[in-house]
């Protein structure tokens, strides 16, 4: 149970101005610049943070390079790194509620989801990769008797991580966990609208005994700090979750600088497919609603396209609208709220433009479509369901990243596969069917990094998450994530 009195005590706690954390020291921006941090709960200033410069980014990169080269982290025995990471996970759990409330005040996620998906998820992720640290082995090649071939796994060096605002701790630790466990050093740039918890995470890493310079945080704008990171010849790998436009820019800058590897998770327009033979339409309704409307739809894998077999389309939409209307949208620090605030006014206005465009095309808004609770000053939007959507409509092709669901009917398996695969994205999908054969056919045919069957979401760290097509490359989660942060080095030894 959430401690409501503790949440209320933390709700109004003052938040100190946020500074960079570089080489273990809190630093202001090199030119003294600051940015105002507005809370999506009421639109009011929460605190300020340093507006990073290219010089700040370069200082953090230099600190990370020194820490890597002197071996204070990469040179530790894996068991020693593991011990620090385990202490770090314990500290994150110790401060979980404080981190969750701070995160809610910063980015608007409802507290019930925030506690589980942010600090508790982050602690579990760090612990998972900590436990793997001393269990990653090299290889012995099957050579002739006169040669010994060894394959070593070596840390890549300095990792630049650029993290989004929707789940900063969860997504951040998906990158930090394997990168640090492998012996690399990291420069992290959080999103401008959700930096506070990641900065606190770095402070806890120091408290756990991580050497200064191993994990650095530079605050500020992506166009400045992220640009400097992606152009730096001293960063060996960039990992990023965010928009396709920024992903392209990172790739361009890698080519312009040192050809650093760039791994991208660029979102999606994920199809949630409901066949008439689904085991439970009521369950499909509930899970589908949560799969698009929790966290105000601000989830990379959100099921934002609902593809429903025509024979059940009208009845399913009616049930879905009725259930979704009961989802309380409101104060995200109220445990009774099923969905919280949109992260920023800019994002809210973008969401509403998509709805207006669909209306102008003659599509039917059967639920929602409006800003609500405007009197609070916060950025809240109703769960929105739009029917009559064509597969090529902008709302069916472009990522909204808000609580907006496009519903498309279909008649055959072949047709729904064309629709499901008919976007530039390929991150996630779901299939609801009682046919085992159909489920396997759909999993095989849908082009996506993860396909859920008779559920939506909920996968854990044991399986990878990554996209195909313009949803990106590389994988977060699971042991496969180490592939991004380790180089293979061959030793060919004449005996």
Q: Do 294 and 332 touch, CB atoms closer than 8 A?
A: no
| Helix ranges, 215-263 (H) | 227-231, 244-256
Closest CA to 30 of 164, 224, 231: 224
Q: Is 349 a catalytic residue?
A: no
What would you measure as the largest C-alpha separation in the chain, in angstroms? Answer: 79
Phi, psi (degrees; rounded to nearest 5) at 27: -135, 140
Nearest Cα to Cα of residue 241 among 486, 483, 492, 477: 477
488 burial via Cβ count (<10 Å: 0-12, 13-18, 19+): exposed
Nearest to 297 by CA among 331, 267, 258, 334: 267
| Catalytic pick among 110, 118, 192, 265 | 265
- Do 448 and 465 contact (CB within 8 A), yes or no? no
Strands 428-432 and 271-274: parallel
b/e burial code for range 206-217 (CB count within 10 A of at least 16 → b)? bebebbbbbbbb
Listing from the earlier edge strand, what are the strands of the sheet with 185-189? 25-27, 20-22, 215-217, 185-189, 158-162, 237-241, 261-265
**Residue entry with tokens 């990522």:** 399
With DSSP H G I counted as helix, E B as strand and the rest as coil, what are the percentages for the chain, rounded to 5? Answer: 40, 20, 35
Q: What single-letter DSSP state applies at residue 474?
A: S
Separation between Cα atoms, residue 181 and residue 175, nearest integer Å: 10
Say if residue 241 is exposed, middle or buried (CB neighbours under 10 Å; 0-12, 13-18, 19+): buried
- Report which of 179, 89, 82 is spatially closest to residue 135, judged by C-alpha positions: 82
Question: How many whole angstroms separate alpha carbon 105 and alpha carbon 40?
Answer: 7
Whether the CB-CB separation of 129 and 89 falls below 8 Å is answered with no
Catalytic residue ranges = 265
């Amino acid at each position: 149970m959430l401690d409501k009195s503790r949440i209320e005590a933390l709700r109004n706690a003052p938040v100190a101005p946020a500074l960079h954390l570089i080489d273990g020291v809190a630093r202001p921006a090199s030119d003294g610049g600051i940015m105002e941090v507005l809370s999506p709960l009421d639109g009011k200033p929460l605190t300020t943070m340093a507006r990073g410069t290219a010089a700040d980014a370069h200082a953090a990169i230099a600190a990370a390079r020194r820490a890597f080269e002197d071996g204070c982290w990469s040179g530790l025995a894996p068991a020693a790194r593991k011990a620090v990471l385990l202490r770090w996970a314990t500290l994150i759990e110790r401060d979980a509620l404080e981190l969750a409330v701070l995160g809610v005040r910063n980015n608007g996620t409802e507290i019930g989801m925030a506690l589980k998906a942010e600090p508790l998820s982050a602690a579990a992720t760090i612990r998972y990769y900590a436990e793997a640290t001393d269990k990653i082995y090299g290889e012995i090649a099957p050579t002739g008797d006169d040669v010994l071939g060894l394959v070593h796994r070596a840390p890549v060096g300095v990792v630049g991580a650029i993290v989004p605002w929707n789940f900063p701790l969860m997504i951040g630790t998906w990158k930090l966990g394997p990168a640090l466990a492998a012996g690399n050093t990291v420069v992290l740039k959080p999103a401008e609208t959700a930096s506070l918890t990641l900065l606190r995470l770095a402070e806890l890493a120091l408290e756990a005994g991580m050497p200064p310079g191993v994990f650095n945080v530079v605050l500020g704008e992506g166009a400045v700090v992220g640009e400097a990171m992606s152009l730096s010849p001293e960063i060996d790998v960039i990992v990023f979750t965010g928009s396709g436009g920024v992903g392209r820019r990172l790739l361009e800058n890698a080519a312009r600088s040192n050809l650093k590897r760039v791994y991208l998770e660029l979102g999606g327009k994920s199809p949630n497919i409901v066949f008439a033979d689904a085991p439970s339409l009521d369950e499909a309704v509930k899970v589908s609603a949560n799969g698009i409307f929790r966290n105000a739809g601000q989830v990379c894998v959100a099921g934002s396209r609902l593809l429903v077999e025509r024979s059940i389309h009208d009845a399913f939409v009616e049930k879905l609208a009725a259930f979704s209307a009961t989802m309380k949208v409101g104060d995200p620090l109220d445990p009774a709220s099923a969905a919280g605030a949109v992260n920023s006014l800019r994002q809210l206005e973008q969401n509403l433009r998509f709805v207006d465009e669909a209306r102008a095309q003659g599509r039917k808004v059967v639920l929602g479509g409006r800003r609500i609770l405007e009197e609070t000053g916060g950025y809240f939007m109703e769960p929105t369901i739009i029917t009559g959507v064509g597969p090529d409509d902008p709302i069916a092709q472009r990522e909204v990243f808000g609580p907006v669901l496009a519903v498309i009917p279909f008649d055959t398996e072949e047709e729904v596969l064309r629709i499901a695969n008919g976007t530039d994205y390929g991150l996630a999908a779901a299939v609801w069917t009682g046919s085992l054969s159909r489920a396997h056919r759909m999993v095989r045919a849908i082009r996506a990094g993860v396909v859920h069957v008779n559920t939506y979401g909920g996968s854990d760290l044991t399986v990878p998450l990554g996209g195909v097509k313009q949803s990106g490359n590389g994988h977060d989660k699971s042991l496969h994530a180490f592939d991004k942060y380790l180089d293979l080095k061959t030793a060919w030894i004449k005996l």
